[in-house]
């Protein structure tokens, strides 16, 4: 960290210390957090901090910032991972783009909240200022960052790396190069391949017979990844690369089979909570199936009843992802100007549309040469829009979506490469027209 960044970092820490000082004055608070892996991890770190301060609390999870107005609450609110305007009776910790000085946000101190630190990282720093022993919560900060795909450049960077290094020094974290598939700790290889959605493996994702045949053809017995010999691991990876290359999977996706992975040595080998990617997937599964409180309990230490329940949600979650990806493979997207989009209506849940869209783009099911959109109906007669772009596109996607949604009576937000919006049903065509016009004007 260079001198200018260190100065900004110290100012950032000063702001966090001030917020800790203000929070100590409270006897009771209500925690609001985003219902995804980062939001659940952030809420767990915050809850631990509140317990240590002997502050009573309740927790509520929200699908989006548009669901709430802080002025409607009489209690003191502490919000995490939600792009909200603070009131005098609230405190907001967020990492989405804003220049609102009242929000405790890395962007206000020159750090990129889309890449360098997530909400759980922000709360990890907050907790660390309470006590250095709280570096153990940097595991949850890592889970949140991975859940928000802040390792998309290949590894965690920026303030995430500062947290990671502290965690490694204290022995609660480990970084190494390995296969990046979900399920290395818990699944046998055939199931690992069958349930792989990121990347989507042509001919094997969702086809267990094909996965068994593949292993048989390369002479590898069906065991868990960490039970394979180094020679077997190399042979499996080589054959997978060859298969994906011949199936026209994008080169970048194929390269990402191997990369930096983050593990927690204190969790038992074979547990899905030992690997950051698996842990984040468990949390996302509880969120996308509408049970984020189960994910919160797991983060707070429940390793039996709640974890077993989460495994059931995970099976449903993985099935929904594979069904959604197969739906996209069978359906041609609609092209309009700068946009490539599909309207899944009720075929894909609104809670799943962003996850499926992101995987479809990263796996090459949808090209990343356009602004990619996925639309799905919500339970309250609106439309959820999720959007993804390549990091190479010079577009502030969150701003563009919010502007286009606002023109039709909706709202949006997010990050520069991944964003979302809620719009009234029936306004989807006007929204598409508005968004394309906005992107055109920003490109010129």
Question: Tell me, what's the pLDDT at 441?
Answer: 86
Which residues in 140-194 belong to E strands, given as ranges? 174-179
| Statement: residue 4 has pLDDT above 60 | no
- 333-443 matches 3-147+157-169 in CATH topology: no
Residue 394 contacts by C-beta under 8 Å, 6 or more apart in sequence? Answer: 443
**CATH number, domain 3-147+157-169, options 3.90.1640.30, 1.10.10.10, 3.40.50.300, 3.30.530.20:** 3.90.1640.30
| Statement: residue 88 has pLDDT above 90 | yes
Q: Which of 318, 292, 273, 34 is nearest to 140 (CA)?
A: 273
Percentage of the chain modeled with pLDDT above 90: 74
At 196, is the pLDDT very low, low, confident or very high (cuts 50, 70, 90)?
Answer: confident
Strand partners, 411: 422
Cα three-residue angle 412-349-121, rounded to 5 degrees: 55
Predicted TM-score of the model (pTM)? 0.87
C-alpha span between 37 and 285 (Å, rounded): 8
Q: What DSSP state is assigned to residue 219?
A: T
Question: What fold, for 333-443?
Answer: Diaminopimelate Epimerase; Chain A, domain 1 (3.10.310)
Model confidence over 244-301: pLDDT tens digits?
989 888 887 788 788 899 999 999 988 999 999 999 999 999 999 999 999 999 999 9
Q: Angle of helix 119-130 relative to helix 37-52, nearest 10 degrees?
A: 20
The CA distances from residue 1 to 22, 125, 179, in Å, are 29, 16, 29
Model confidence over 163-179: pLDDT tens digits?
999 999 999 999 998 88
| Statement: residue 422 has pLDDT above 70 | yes
Question: Tell me, what's the pLDDT at 444?
Answer: 58
The domain ranges of the chain are 3-147+157-169, 178-325, 333-443
**DSSP SS3 for 15:** helix
**DSSP SS3 for 285:** helix
Average pLDDT over the chain reads 92
Question: Tell me, what's the pLDDT at 286?
Answer: 96
| Statement: residue 363 has pLDDT above 80 | no
Question: Tell me, what's the pLDDT at 390?
Answer: 85
How many Cα atoms occupy the beta-carbon half-sphere of 86 within 13 Å?
21
Q: Which of 259, 151, 249, 251 is nearest to 200 (CA)?
A: 249
- For range 210-220, the mean pLDDT: 96
Which range has highest mean pLDDT (57-61, 189-193, 248-252)?
57-61
Model confidence over 219-242: pLDDT tens digits?
999 999 989 999 999 999 999 999
| Statement: residue 411 has pLDDT above 70 | yes
| Statement: residue 443 has pLDDT above 90 | no
Question: Tell me, what's the pLDDT at 41?
Answer: 98
> 298 near 308, Cβ under 8 Å?
no
Q: Which of 138, 181, 113, 172 is nearest to 359 (CA)?
A: 181
């Amino acid at each position: 960290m260079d001198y200018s960044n260190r100065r900004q970092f110290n100012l950032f820490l000063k702001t966090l210390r001030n917020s800790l000082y203000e929070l100590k004055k409270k006897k009771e608070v209500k925690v609001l957090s985003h219902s995804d892996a980062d939001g659940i991890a952030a809420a767990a770190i915050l809850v631990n901090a509140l317990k240590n301060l002997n502050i009573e609390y309740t927790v509520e999870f929200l699908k989006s910032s548009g669901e709430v107005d802080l002025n409607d609450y009489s209690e003191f609110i502490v919000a995490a991972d939600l792009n909200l305007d603070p009131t005098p009776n609230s405190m907001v910790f967020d990492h989405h783009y804003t220049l609102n000085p009242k929000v405790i946000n890395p962007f206000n101190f020159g750090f990129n909240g889309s890449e360098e630190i997530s909400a759980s990282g922000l709360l990890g720093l907050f907790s660390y200022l309470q006590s250095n022993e709280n570096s153990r919560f940097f595991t949850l900060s890592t889970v949140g960052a991975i859940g928000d795909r802040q390792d998309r450049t290949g590894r965690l960077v920026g303030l995430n790396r500062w947290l990671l290094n502290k965690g490694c020094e204290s022995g609660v974290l480990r970084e190494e190069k390995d296969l990046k598939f979900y399920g290395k700790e818990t699944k046998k290889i055939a199931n690992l391949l069958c349930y792989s959605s990121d990347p989507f493996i042509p001919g094997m994702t969702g086809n267990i017979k094909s996965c068994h045949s593949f292993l048989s053809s390369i002479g590898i017995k069906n065991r868990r990844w960490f039970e394979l010999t180094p020679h077997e691991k190399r042979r499996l990876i080589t054959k997978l690369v060859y298969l994906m290359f011949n199936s026209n999977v994008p080169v970048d996706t194929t390269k990402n089979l191997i990369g930096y992975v983050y593990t927690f040595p204190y969790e038992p080998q074979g547990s899905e909570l030992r690997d950051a990617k698996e842990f984040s997937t468990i949390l996302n599964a509880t969120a996308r199936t509408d049970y984020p409180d189960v994910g919160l309990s797991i983060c707070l230490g429940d390793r039996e009843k709640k974890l077993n329940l989460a495994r059931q949600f995970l099976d449903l979650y993985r099935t929904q992802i594979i069904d959604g990806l197969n739906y996209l493979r069978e359906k041609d997207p609609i092209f309009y100007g700068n946009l490539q989009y599909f309207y899944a209506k009720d075929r894909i849940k609104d809670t799943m549309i962003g996850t499926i869209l992101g995987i479809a783009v990263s796996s090459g099911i949808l090209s990343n040469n356009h602004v990619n959109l996925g639309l799905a109906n919500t339970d309250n007669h609106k439309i959820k829009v999720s959007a993804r772009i390549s990091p190479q596109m010079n577009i502030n996607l969150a701003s563009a979506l919010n502007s286009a949604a606002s023109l039709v009576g909706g709202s949006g937000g997010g990050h520069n490469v991944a964003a979302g919006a809620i719009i009234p049903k029936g306004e989807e065509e006007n929204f598409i027209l508005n968004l394309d016009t906005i992107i055109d004007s920003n490109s010129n």
